Structure 1
Amino acid sequence: MSLTDAQSTIEQWRQEYNGFRPHRSLDNVTPDQVTAATTVELQNDLLPRNWSTLK
């Protein structure tokens, strides 16, 4: 197995582990879902209350 093949295999595993496989310790959601929810919460906390977001 070449280095490129190993990197590709590891990346595929990482994406499945973090993006598609629910984790019991995270209330059966994926790490990516937890990260996305946390990011939104942090953005909302950092955005001044009298500002609106641009859409």
Structure 2
Amino acid sequence: MDETKYCVCCGEEVNVNRVERNERIELTCVYCGFLLAVQDEPLLSIEEARAHTESERLHYVL
């Protein structure tokens, strides 16, 4: 059975496309392409967040 979600643009329950982008799955409306949901959104670990912040500071200093 096809997965359905409510699309605010179309104003009704619609079938969805599953699109894999940037290591996550996006669910979009079959008819208008509106983004309905995102699954498996990658989260940063504490270490990754710190490294990102420190590299931004270093870039600013340089």
Answer 1 or 2: higher relative contact order, Cα 8 Å, separation at least 6: 2
Pair member with larger Rg: 2
Same fold (TM over 0.5): no
Structure with greater strand percent: 2
TM-score, with structure 2 as normaliser: 0.36
